């Protein structure tokens, strides 16, 4: 059996592999198992997906106890490393952030996303100061070291989602913050909203560290991102929302035509779903 410390090392190594780490984000144990069964070497959770599935908006509106339990269930359901999206850390100060990191590791995860945007949900949120975020990254690193897990810290900057930021200003802020976050102990820099190929190339070349891009509409394809040197590609809450789109189509077809095509096309069988949780 792979230990938690070994899983952490595996997750870190995946950020330095020849091909990028593709993360089809999961929101519950079943979706995590499906992603693992598809052959992906790691699981990432989605904060928005978990929150929406449990009846909350994104932006740390979900009580931490429920988020922590969801992370635990996903980590227990799969054998591959799990990295948890904990938004801005579910804490108003460093001791609370350290408690969150401890809970994440105790739940079985070996990595975290840590945002530099203040909680609240949606784009264009104000950012923590660079000095504040450096202390938060250092606190996460210290907690992992204390628990003897080499926690993989994916430091997210929302510079491209900042209010009234031009693309050039967003790139400048991303590079400034990215360099500082890496020096403070981050392993990867996550830049949602970064889509321009020339800006992606600049981030890869100037930060000289793994860069995480949010895949989806408007983003370069995975092969294009790989050619640009991107090492981590996340799909965020997209998979959960796509699943909800399928459910909507099932509803519409049932009501309008009374047929079952959307229900049966590509569906995982009853037996296969149950087999995911055997042993």
Give 10-residue mean pLDDT values along the chain (279 residues).
97 98 98 98 98 97 97 98 98 96 98 94 81 98 98 97 86 98 98 97 98 97 98 98 98 98 97 91
| Per-residue tokens: 64 | 């931490």
Q: What is the reported pLDDT for 122?
A: 63
In this structure, the chain runs to a length of 279
Q: What is the reported pLDDT for 125?
A: 82
DSSP letters spanning 139-166:
HHHHHHHHTT---EEEEE--GGGSTT--
CA-based torsion, 34, 38, 39, 43: positive or negative: negative
Measuring CA to CA, which residue among 127, 111, 138 is closest to residue 212?
A: 111
CA-based torsion, 220, 224, 226, 228: positive or negative: negative
* CA separation for the pair 134, 180 (Å, rounded): 7
* Domain 4-238 annotated CATH 3.20.20.60: yes
* CA separation for the pair 159, 182 (Å, rounded): 16
List b or e across 169-199, with b for residues whose CB sees 16 or more CB atoms inside 10 angstroms.
ebbebbbebbbbbbebbbbbbbbbbbbeeeb
* CA separation for the pair 52, 56 (Å, rounded): 5
């Amino acid at each position: 059996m792979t230990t938690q410390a070994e899983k952490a090392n595996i997750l870190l190594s995946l950020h330095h592999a020849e091909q990028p780490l593709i993360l089809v984000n999961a929101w519950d144990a079943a979706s995590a198992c499906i992603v693992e069964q598809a052959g992906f070497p790691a699981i990432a959770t989605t904060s928005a997906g978990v929150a929406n599935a449990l009846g909350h908006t994104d932006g740390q509106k979900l009580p931490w106890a429920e988020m922590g339990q969801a992370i635990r269930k996903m980590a227990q359901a799969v054998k591959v490393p799990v990295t948890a999206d904990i938004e801005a850390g579910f804490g108003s100060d460093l001791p609370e952030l350290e408690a969150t990191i401890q809970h994440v590791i105790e739940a079985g995860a070996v990595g975290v996303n840590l945002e530099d945007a203040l909680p609240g949900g949606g784009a264009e949120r104000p950012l923590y100061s660079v000095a504040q975020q450096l202390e938060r990254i250092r606190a996460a690193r210290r907690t992992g070291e204390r628990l003897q897990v080499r926690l993989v810290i994916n430091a997210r900057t929302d510079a491209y989602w900042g209010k009234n930021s031009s693309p050039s200003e967003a790139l400048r802020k991303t590079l400034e913050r990215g360099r500082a976050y890496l020096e403070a102990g981050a392993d990867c820099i996550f830049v949602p909203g970064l889509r321009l190929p020339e800006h992606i190339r600049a981030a890869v070349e100037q930060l000289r560290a793994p860069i995480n891009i949010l895949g989806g509409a408007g983003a370069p394809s995975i092969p294009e991102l790989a050619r640009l040197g991107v090492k981590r590609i996340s799909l965020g809450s997209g998979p959960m929302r796509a699943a909800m789109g399928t459910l909507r189509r099932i509803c519409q077809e049932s009501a309008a035509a009374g047929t079952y095509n959307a229900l049966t096309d590509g569906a995982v069988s009853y037996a296969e779903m149950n087999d995911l949780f055997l042993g």
